[in-house]
Amino acid sequence: MIQKLLLTLTILTFLSCGNESDKMIYKTKGGEFASEQGNFIADFPTKPGYSAIDNQIGLDKFQLHLFRSSLGPNKIFSIEYNDYPEHMIKSMTDEQIYSQGVTNFSNKMAEAFKLEFQEPIEQHGLSGHYFVLNLKQNAIEKGIKGHIQGKLFRNGNRVYTITYIGQDDKNVDVFMNSFRLIK
């Protein structure tokens, strides 16, 4: 299952590359990648592709914006954000948003991964939440390798999710720690 998920994410990354991606993300003079519309900068290891997915909760419609870069099928670097309708997000504290975000992500990956660790963090002036998911024994027995690291940040009604899915790689910490908002 997880191999199919990683393959699907990799295919989405390559399909999403193109003109729309060029408009949504660009390389900075410092070598990182930035998105004006997304209002962020991050040190992806390769140019990320962009895609948008329509989403709906009740009657509220919004888009999920995805930026993905990969170093093969087993190393996927991702930033996604969505702008929640103001009335939805106003009723929740940051901690509630982070807790629900980690729970939702963990539930989505529950077939092969389990939540191992989470804690509040501070990064480049943003308060957020860091979490780690490790493989379950049934996935390890199938020969699957890897883990998931994630960070959640809120800025107004926008929620960012920064994730790495895959095997250990020297680019993970650089990518995860580089995320920041454009001033």
Residue 117 dihedral angles phi and psi, to the nearest 5°: -160, 145
CB 150 within 8 A of CB 123: no
Q: Does residue 1 fall inside a structural domain?
A: no
Q: Report yes or no on 18 lying in a domain.
A: no
- 152 located within any domain: yes
Degrees, nearest 5: CA angle 113-119-120: 135
**Using only C-alpha atoms, what is the Rg of the chain?**
16
Domain that holds residue 108: 27-181
22 assigned to some structural domain: no
The residues that bridge with 57 in the sheet, in sequence order, are: 60
Evaluate whether residue 70 is within a structural domain. yes
pTM: 0.85
Q: Is residue 7 part of a domain?
A: no
Q: How far apart are CA 25 and CA 97, in angstroms?
A: 26
Give the per-residue pLDDT at 21: 61
What is the number of domains present in the chain? 1
Output phi, psi for 177, to 5 deg.
Answer: -85, -10
Q: In this structure, is residue 168 part of a structural domain? A: yes
Q: What is the mean pLDDT of each run of 10 residues along the chain (183 residues)?
A: 47 47 87 96 97 82 91 93 86 92 94 96 96 95 94 95 96 97 91
Classify the phi-psi angles of 166: left when phi > 0, otherwise alpha if psi is within -120 to 50, otherwise beta. left
Residue 102 lies in a domain: yes
Report the pLDDT value the prediction gives residue 17, as an integer from 0 to 100: 45
Q: Is 146 left (phi over 0), alpha (psi -120 to 50) or beta?
A: left
Q: What CATH number is associated with residue 83?
A: 3.40.1000.10
